[in-house]
């Protein structure tokens, strides 16, 4: 009887999966078709499939350099945000100091701050510092805007750690830094993995900052390369879908491979 009651939920979940997953599936098999096959039947499977579109998209539009730029910026900024937010999250969860709650909520206020209102001040600041059209023009803003949600997740995790572990470390003569570095940080791997993956996917797809702060072709990230490719090859549906596959599928693969760590990280410390 209980299973019968769950069938409506299963049907809703299946419908949601189809609505969200079919466009990605259609994009994938359309990238393996020719434009003639698309014109004949836009919904049909490729017969025969061809990988020529993927090869041409990879070789044109500076995709290889854009891939490197996006990977470099997303990985470095994601790791920096994780390390900074780990220190801040531990301090907010375990240390007692004046203004702790006020400072924490000031960090959280960054979650509701629209990035668009920061474009002109950031542009002016980066221009004066000589950082525009450099990797630093993206690393700094990406790291800063990833801190609020990262600190929120890690603070909840550190608050859920048993205090007995730290009390035992104190009895062994461990300092605050030692308790963080040797005890709390190794135990926070699920939460750290969640923070790194979430930030990686967000930075991999980010367009506004890259479009505003980067002008030089050799520094373009993948969203900029996609935008230029679609502008030049808008008539080539097979080529555009192939370019989208090269950009979207790697990020989806990273997310699905690490979803177990993401769930563990989000639920860790949830009872606190």
Write out pLDDT tens, residues 174-214: 888 888 888 888 888 888 888 888 899 899 989 999 999 99
- Is pLDDT at 270 greater than 70 in this prediction? no
pLDDT band at 108 (very low <50, low <70, confident <90, very high): confident
Burial 116-146 (b: 16+ CB within 10 A, else e): eebbeebeeebeeeebbebeebbbbbbbbbb
Write down the pLDDT at residue 91: 92
pTM of the model: 0.84
Q: Is pLDDT larger for residue 171 or for residue 3? A: 171
- Cα–chain-centroid distance for residue 70? 11
Could you give the dihedral angle defined by the CA atoms of residues 12, 14, 15 and 17, in that order, rounded to the nearest 10 degrees? 120
Q: Is pLDDT larger for residue 156 or for residue 260? A: 156
Is the domain defined by 51-267 classed in CATH 1.10.3720.10? yes
Q: How many CB atoms lie within 10 A of CB 258?
A: 18
Q: What is the mean pLDDT of residues 115-138?
A: 92
Summary mean pLDDT of the chain: 85
In angstroms, the CA 138 to CA 136 distance is 5
Write down the pLDDT at residue 75: 93
- Is pLDDT at 261 greater than 70 in this prediction? no
- Is pLDDT at 124 greater than 90 in this prediction? yes
Structure tokens at 67: 């891939």
């Amino acid at each position: 009887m209980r299973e019968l009651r769950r069938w409506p939920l299963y049907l809703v979940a299946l419908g949601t999966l189809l609505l969200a997953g079919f466009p990605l599936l259609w994009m994938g098999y359309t990238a393996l078709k020719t434009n003639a096959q698309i014109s004949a039947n836009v919904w049909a499977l490729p017969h025969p499939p061809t990988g020529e579109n993927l090869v041409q998209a990879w070789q044109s539009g500076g995709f290889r350099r854009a891939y490197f730029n996006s990977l470099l910026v997303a990985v470095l900024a994601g790791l920096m945000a994780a390390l900074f937010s780990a220190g801040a999250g531990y301090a907010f969860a375990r240390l007692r100091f004046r203004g702790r709650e006020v400072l924490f909520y000031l960090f959280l206020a960054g979650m509701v701050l629209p990035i668009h209102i920061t474009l002109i001040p950031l542009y002016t600041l980066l221009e004066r510092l000589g950082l525009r059209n450099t990797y630093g023009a993206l690393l700094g803003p990406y790291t800063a805007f990833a801190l609020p949600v990262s600190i929120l997740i890690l603070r909840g995790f550190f608050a859920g750690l048993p205090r007995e572990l730290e009390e035992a470390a104190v009895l062994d003569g461990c300092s605050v830094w030692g308790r963080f570095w040797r005890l709390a940080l190794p135990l926070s791997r699920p939460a750290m993995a969640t923070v790194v993956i979430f930030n990686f996917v967000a930075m991999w797809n980010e367009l506004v900052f890259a479009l505003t702060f980067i002008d030089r072709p050799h520094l373009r990230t993948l969203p900029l390369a996609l935008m230029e490719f679609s502008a030049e090859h808008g008539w080539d549906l097979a080529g555009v879908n192939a370019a989208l596959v090269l950009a979207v599928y790697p990020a989806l693969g990273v997310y699905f491979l690490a979803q177990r760590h993401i769930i563990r990280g989000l639920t860790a410390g949830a009872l606190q």
